[in-house]
């Protein structure tokens, strides 16, 4: 090979390498390490906020299809308990984004991703505990319907739990109230703040096991105690839940197989209703605006029989019946309330009278589901997304969605995969780091997949990382262009050599 050909070959090699290295390549799990989305997204004026492994908060502009900024959140645990994932979606309020990961809460500027404040000691972040219809247990609450935005947290410090109100702007403390027990559920509305906790035993913090329950009401402006429920020292806490009209309930075990529900006025804590009943081991309880559902094992848990009891909020019984305990391969493997429907064990029940509305007998492995006023949306681990009419149980549409690989299927809680419905946008969040958008009316997939890799390593205002953006230049396109470039250069070399000989 003469010098001219050698020079041309080196030029060819350099050009190909330059092009490949500067192309916007798709993310690679083998190169990027462990990836995954930790929270469902939240949407604010076409800007999407979400967190990904290991501890990165993203601000992604859907209109322009690019990352506005990313921020690394410090002190987040490297390992997450898969049973509590996904974490709650970030909350956009004013000029801030609040994000709860692990046991910490961050206040982040929406403008540039700057971390303004952080507080620690919160309950471990879990979307399920935050949205549960009974024993509701988020790490913090935001109340926007006041002159000043209210931020209230639950924080543990030196073994004691505190309810604390903080300033949205800098996270500074406004007031705190120390609880004499382990918090089990709490609620914040325009009408007030209520906390249910299980009292500590004689040995103090950490000894709240089979102890009596207490519900307290705190003044939102200064944290003063408004009222507390009377304590039965012989009772054991089981559940607390809220229901309209303006009542809060405490369910306790009072004897070997005896249980009691007490309903209190939210305004003054006066007991308005009470009922006692005999039943098996406690399973769960839920509440809606006007109804209460209590579930107990009917006989030994191994028999897989559930006693389903439906009450008015006046604690007058509506229906008692025995149903089968749900299996993991059914629609609604965990009990939930959606509007005026109880969902459990592949079956939908009307809360008006407790009767069955419809039942699905197909075996499915539901990764997650979402609901609106007309449809239920399901993500089946076998590789489909489908919707069902909420009143008839008829399937409306079905879409192939095989993005969940076999390794994800075997993970506890599917690695935190989630289905989220936001402003007529249906998103699937995968355990390997994708956010996929669907049309909730047809199930059609929107073009493009937002893919995140943990190799991005970005922080602050850095938006230059290719891993932080949707892949707009697939690897195949890069290879094709590289080959064409090689052919052109080789042809030029051939022509040059031939002309020189002539």
pLDDT at 207: 86
Which of 35, 86, 90 lies closest to 59 in space, CA to CA? Answer: 90
pLDDT reading at 402 higher than 90: no
The lowest-confidence range among 29-38, 180-189, 357-366, 392-401 is 29-38
Which of 469, 467, 355, 367 lies closest to 420 in space, CA to CA? Answer: 367
User: DSSP letters of 123-189?
Assistant: PPP-HHHHH-SSS---SEEEE-SSSS-EEEEEEEETTEEEEEEE-TTT--EEEEEE-SEEEEEEEEE
User: With bands split at pLDDT 50, 70 and 90, how would you rate the model's confidence at 338?
Assistant: very high
Element (H, E) at 491: helix 475-501
pLDDT at 146: 73
Rounded to an integer, the average pLDDT of 374-400 is: 94
pLDDT at 312: 94
Which of 95, 84, 169, 90 lies closest to 132 in space, CA to CA? Answer: 84
Mean pLDDT, the chain, whole residue set: 83
What share of the chain in percent tops pLDDT 70?
A: 80
pLDDT at 289: 85
Residue ranges covered by each domain of the chain: 1-23+473-502
pLDDT at 497: 54
pLDDT at 246: 85
Dihedral (CA of 220, 223, 224, 226) sign? positive
Are residues 225 and 178 in contact, defined by beta-carbon separation less than 8 angstroms? no
Rounded to an integer, the average pLDDT of 422-437 is: 88
Query: The pTM is what?
Result: 0.82
Which of 166, 186, 184 lies closest to 176 in space, CA to CA? Answer: 166
Q: What is the pLDDT of residues 268-323, one digit of tens each?
A: 999 999 999 999 999 999 998 889 999 999 988 888 999 999 999 999 999 999 99
């Amino acid at each position: 090979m003469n010098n001219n050909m050698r020079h041309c070959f080196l030029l060819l090699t350099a050009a190909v390498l330059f092009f490949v290295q500067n192309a916007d390549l798709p993310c690679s799990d083998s190169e990027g390490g462990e990836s995954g989305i930790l929270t469902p997204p939240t949407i604010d004026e076409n800007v999407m906020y979400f967190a990904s492994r290991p501890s990165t908060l993203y601000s992604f502009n859907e209109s322009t299809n690019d990352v506005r900024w990313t921020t690394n959140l410090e002190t987040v645990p490297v390992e997450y308990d898969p049973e509590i994932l996904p974490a709650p979606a970030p909350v956009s309020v004013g000029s801030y984004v609040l994000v709860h990961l692990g046991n910490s809460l961050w206040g982040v500027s929406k403008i540039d991703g700057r971390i303004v404040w952080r507080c620690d000691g919160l309950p471990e972040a879990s979307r399920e505990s935050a949205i549960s219809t009974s024993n509701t247990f988020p790490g913090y609450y935001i109340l926007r319907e006041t002159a000043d935005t209210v931020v209230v947290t639950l924080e543990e410090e030196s073994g004691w739990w505190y309810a604390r109100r903080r300033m949205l702007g800098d996270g500074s403390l406004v007031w705190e109230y120390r609880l004499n027990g382990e918090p089990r559920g709490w609620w914040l509305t325009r009408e007030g703040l209520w906390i249910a906790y299980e009292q500590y035993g004689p040995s103090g913090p950490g000894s709240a096991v089979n102890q009596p329950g207490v519900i307290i009401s705190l003044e939102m402006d200064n944290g003063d105690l408004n009222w507390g429920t009377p304590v039965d020292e012989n009772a054991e806490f089981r559940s607390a839940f809220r229901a309209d009209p303006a009542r809060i309930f405490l369910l306790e075990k009072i004897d070997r197989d005896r249980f009691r529900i007490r309903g209190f006025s939210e305004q003054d804590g006066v007991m308005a209703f009470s009922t006692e009943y005999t039943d098996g081991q406690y399973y769960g309880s839920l509440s809606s605006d006007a109804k209460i559902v209590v579930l107990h094992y009917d006989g030994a848990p191994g028999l897989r029989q559930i006693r389903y009891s439906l009450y008015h909020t006046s604690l007058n019984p509506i229906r008692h019946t025995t149903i089968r305990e749900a299996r993991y391969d059914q629609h609604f493997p965990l009990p939930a309330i959606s509007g005026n429907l109880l969902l459990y064990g592949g079956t939908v029940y009307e809360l008006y009278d407790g009767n069955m509305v419809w039942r699905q007998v197909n075996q499915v492995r539901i990764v997650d589901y979402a609901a609106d006023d007309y449809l239920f949306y399901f993500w089946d681990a076998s590789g489909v997304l489908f919707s069902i009419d909420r009143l008839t149980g008829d399937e409306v549409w079905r879409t192939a969605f095989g993005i969940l690989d076999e390794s994800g299927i075997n993970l506890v809680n599917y690695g935190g995969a989630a289905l989220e419905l936001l402003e007529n946008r249906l998103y699937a969040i995968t355990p390997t780091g994708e956010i996929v958008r669907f049309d909730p009316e047809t199930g059609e997939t929107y073009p493009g997949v937002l893919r995140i890799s943990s190799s991005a390593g970005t922080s602050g205002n850095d938006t230059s990382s290719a891993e932080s953006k949707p892949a707009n230049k697939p690897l195949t396109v890069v290879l094709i262009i590289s080959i064409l470039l090689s052919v052109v250069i080789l042809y030029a070399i051939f022509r040059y050599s031939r002309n020189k000989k002539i």
